[in-house]
Amino acid sequence: MKKMIFIGIILSLIAISFIPKFISFERTPFQKNWLAYKELFIDTNRVLDADNISSSEGQGFALLFAVFSNDRNQFQEMWAWTKENMQREDHLFRHQYSPSEKEGCDKTCISAQPNVSNGDIIIAWALLAAENKWDRQIFLVEGLRVLDAIKAKLIREQFGYQLILPSETGFELPDDRTQINLSYWVFPALNLFTEVTGNPLWAEVYQSGTSLMKSARFSDLNLPADWMILSKDNASLQGANSTEFGENANRLPLYLILAQDYQADLMAPFLDFWSQGTLPATVNLSTGEASEQLANGAMQAIKTVTEAKMKHEDTDVVSEVILPEVTAETDYDTATFILLSQLPIVKM
């Protein structure tokens, strides 16, 4: 009897060994695009933009994509590199890393360089999402350290809003004015921060962002600009870094979709703008002049997913949305926002 059981076990093991030869595990479109993205834009765990520069935002998005693709090894290796080469002593991140650095840059060198808040926020989002995905306490600890630094150095209560400074310095202006970029309100990240910490501050920051989206609208298009100046009286384009609606403000509808926030009054200006036949890459909201350059693949991907989800927010039909594949011809920005636009479709 024992001999028969032993033979049965051996035969079962032999059969199992052949399973990979006969079963094909189909990757999702997101996973396929992630594999292409890694091949094209990640070199030794750093993300390369068009100028071979690595940014905190780029590292953050790639970390997030690794979580959603369940690519734990890639996440851990990229996070180790980001922590070593970009994280400052205060737990925020320097804006850029350049391969032209001849010698290693220690923490004192890194800490002397400016941060960009959206990069800090996206990296914190990725760390907390990783803890949710893989139940690794260390990712929670490190994500909360980043959040504490964001709260201390980048959040300002002003004019009845909880504002996100675009960087630690340079955006608080004379006469109590503040320059902001609404695309730094990464709404799904703010929701996760509220859920993880229980701190109502992050919900207040979220609410401030949507309130500004309703009030800070410019030109006949009623669109937000990429940059604007806030004072106690109003939001203005005068003196802002840019007076255009472009790739920055165009992210806002996707961030709302990712946060499962389908407020029609927030989405209406974007849907109206997209309904025109030919989409320009930018529109100067001071003059009304549209650029001759057309919207790139990143903007088109955001448009496609947002329109589909706003039509069918209570159903799963958005899973049928077909977005472009990332190929060798896809530029970095377009590839990044194709993957980000697929996140509403991907199941954690």
**Domain assignments of the chain as residue spans, ordered by start:** 2-342
Beta bridge pairs of residue 235 = 230
With the C-alpha atoms ordered 262, 267, 272, 273, is the resulting torsion angle positive or negative? Answer: negative
Q: What is the pLDDT of residue 319?
A: 57
Percent of the chain at pLDDT exceeding 70: 89
Lowest mean pLDDT, pick from 118-127, 201-210, 301-310? 301-310
Q: Any idea what the Cα angle at residue 285 is, between residues 282 and 286, rounded to 5°?
A: 130
With vertex at residue 46, the alpha carbon angle to CA 40 and CA 52, rounded to the nearest 5 degrees, is 65
Rounded Cα–Cα distance for residues 346 and 258 (Å): 11
User: For position 156, what pLDDT does the model report?
Assistant: 97
Task: Tell the residue number behind the tokens 């298009």, with chain if given.
Answer: 221
- DSSP of 24-51: --PPPHHHHHHHHHHHHHEETTEE--TT
> What's the pLDDT at 254?
96
Binned at pLDDT 50, 70 and 90, residue 101 comes out as confident
Check if the beta carbon of residue 330 is closer than 8 Å to that of residue 297: yes
Please give the mean pLDDT across all residues of the chain.
89
Other Cβ atoms within 10 Å of 69 Cβ, number = 22
Q: How confident is the model at residue 11 (pLDDT cuts 50, 70, 90)?
A: very low
Enumerate residues 6+ apart whose C-beta is below 8 A from 105: 85
| Amino acid identity, position 164 | I
Segment 74-99 shows an average pLDDT of 96
Where helices occur in the chain by DSSP H, the ranges are 2-22, 29-41, 56-68, 72-85, 107-111, 117-134, 137-154, 187-197, 200-215, 252-258, 264-274, 297-311, 332-342
Q: What percent of the chain has pLDDT over 90?
A: 79
| Interatomic CA distance for residues 33 and 51, integer angstroms | 21
Give pLDDT, residue 315: 55
CA distance 174 to 179: 11
How much is the pLDDT for 21? 35
Which residue carries 């989206």 as its tokens? 213
pLDDT digits 0-9 by tens, 30-47: 999 999 999 999 998 999
Residues 6+ apart with CB under 8 A from 16: none
Banded model confidence at residue 16, pLDDT cuts 50, 70, 90: very low
- Kindly report whether the global pTM for this prediction surpasses the value 0.85: yes
Question: What span, in angstroms and rounded, lies between the C-alpha atoms of 311 and 267?
Answer: 12
Please say if the pLDDT value at position 200 is more than 50: yes
Pairing of strands 42-43, 244-245: unpaired
Task: Output the six-digit token pair for 165.
Answer: 């400074």
**DSSP SS3 for 185:** coil
pLDDT of residue 99: 82
pLDDT of residue 15: 41
Cβ neighbourhood burial of 13 (10 Å; 0-12, 13-18, 19+): exposed
pLDDT at residue 51, as a whole number: 79
The residue that leads in pLDDT, 93 or 343, is 93
Top mean pLDDT of 57-61, 303-307, 314-318 is at 57-61
Tell me the angle at which helices 137-154 and 117-134 cross, rounded to the nearest 10 degrees.
160
Q: What is the dihedral of CA 70, 76, 79, 85, to 10 degrees?
A: -150
Q: What pLDDT, on a 0 to 100 scale, did the predictor assign at position 50?
A: 73
Looking at residue 324, its pLDDT comes to 86
Q: In the CATH hierarchy, which top-level class contains the domain 2-342?
A: mainly alpha
Phi and psi dihedrals of 119, rounded to 5?
-65, -45
Query: Each residue of 132-143: pLDDT tens digit?
Result: 999 999 999 999
Given a cut of 70, is residue 9 above it in pLDDT?
Answer: no
79-85 contacts, C-beta under 8 A, 24 or more apart: 79/127, 79/130, 79/139, 80/45, 81/44, 81/45, 81/46, 82/45, 82/46, 82/56, 82/123, 83/142, 85/46, 85/110
